[in-house]
């Protein structure tokens, strides 16, 4: 059996929709959309853009945002079974998220424990929400990712680890480039095709279980 590790995105992957976008639509003033568009067109970095978007929100909204995310952050079908399957097979599951700790952790709490959860931090000591970056880019990355997924993978992986990345967006692409196998949906499918990466498509985590059962000839 190969030495396998799974690195899984959160927003739009574990959850069916992107929580940051949903939070901004619900709570932020209209100027958040211009910031979002600048991120997507790569005029500004993810780190700069996410920081600016959350700075539009007063700290007094913290509990309202947590409740909103718990009420609306629908988990993709089969996720609990996927977590249980990896635990049974002793395959580490690392959650690597560009989301923010104060809403990522409450959503994930009942599904763990995980090998580790990596996401951005938050500071509510001022008037508006300040985002902290405990997992920023290493010397090999210059993208100002915020939570830098490829840097986390480089820190954790052993040389012989068979690395599986599960994600949905361009924010997962740099991690996908380092993976032995990508399990993709939405925009990451297109990018995986363009980059000629080794990938499978998925919609539910039941499909992810089936894909893992066949990794490198593993029969489980």
pLDDT on residue 169 = 87
Question: How much is the average pLDDT of 180-189?
Answer: 96
Record the pTM: 0.91
pLDDT on residue 217 = 55
SS3 215: helix
pLDDT on residue 80 = 97
Question: For 38, phi and psi rounded to 5 degrees?
Answer: -70, -35
Taking the C-alpha atoms of residue 133 and residue 147, their distance in angstroms, rounded to an integer, is 7
Question: How much is the average pLDDT of 58-86?
Answer: 97
Q: Element (H or E) spanning 130, and its range?
A: strand 130-132
Domain boundaries, the chain: 4-216
Taking the C-alpha atoms of residue 74 and residue 16, their distance in angstroms, rounded to an integer, is 6
Q: Please, which pLDDT band fits residue 2 given cuts at 50, 70 and 90? A: low
pLDDT on residue 220 = 40
Has residue 219 got a pLDDT over 50?
A: no
pLDDT on residue 146 = 85
Tell me the average pLDDT of the chain: 92
Tokens coding 123: 């500071």
Percent of the chain clearing pLDDT 90 (strictly above)? 80
pLDDT, tens digit (0-9, with 9 covering 90-100), for 107-161: 999 998 899 999 999 999 999 999 999 998 888 888 778 899 999 999 887 678 9
Most confident range, picked from 63-72, 171-180, 207-216: 63-72
Q: Please, which pLDDT band fits residue 1 given cuts at 50, 70 and 90? A: low
Architecture of domain 4-216: 3-Layer(aba) Sandwich (3.40)
- Spell out the residues 6+ positions from residue 214 whose beta carbon is closer than 8 angstroms to its own: none
pLDDT on residue 156 = 86
pLDDT, tens digit (0-9, with 9 covering 90-100), for 16-57: 999 999 999 999 999 999 999 998 888 998 889 999 999 999
pLDDT on residue 61 = 98
């Amino acid at each position: 059996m190969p030495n396998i590790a799974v690195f899984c995105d959160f927003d739009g992957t574990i959850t069916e929709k992107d929580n940051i976008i949903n939070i901004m639509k619900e709570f932020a003033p209209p100027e958040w959309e211009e910031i979002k568009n600048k991120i997507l067109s790569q005029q500004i970095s993810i780190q700069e853009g996410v920081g600016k978007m959350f700075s539009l929100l007063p700290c007094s909204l913290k509990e309202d945002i947590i409740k909103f995310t718990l009420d609306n952050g629908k988990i993709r079908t089969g996720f609990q079974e996927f977590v249980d399957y990896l635990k049974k097979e002793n395959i580490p599951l690392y959650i690597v998220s560009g989301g923010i700790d104060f809403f990522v952790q409450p959503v994930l709490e009942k599904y763990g424990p995980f090998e580790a959860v990596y996401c951005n931090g938050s500071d509510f000591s001022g008037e508006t929400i300040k985002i902290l970056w405990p997992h920023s880019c290493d010397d090999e990355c210059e993208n100002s990712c915020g939570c830098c997924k490829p840097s986390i993978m480089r820190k954790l992986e052993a040389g012989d680890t068979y690395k599986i990345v599960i994600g949905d967006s361009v924010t997962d692409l740099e991690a996908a480039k380092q993976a032995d196998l990508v399990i993709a949906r939405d925009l990451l499918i297109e990018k995986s095709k363009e980059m000629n990466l080794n990938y499978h498509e998925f919609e539910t985590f039941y499909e992810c279980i089936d894909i893992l059962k066949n990794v490198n000839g593993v029969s489980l």
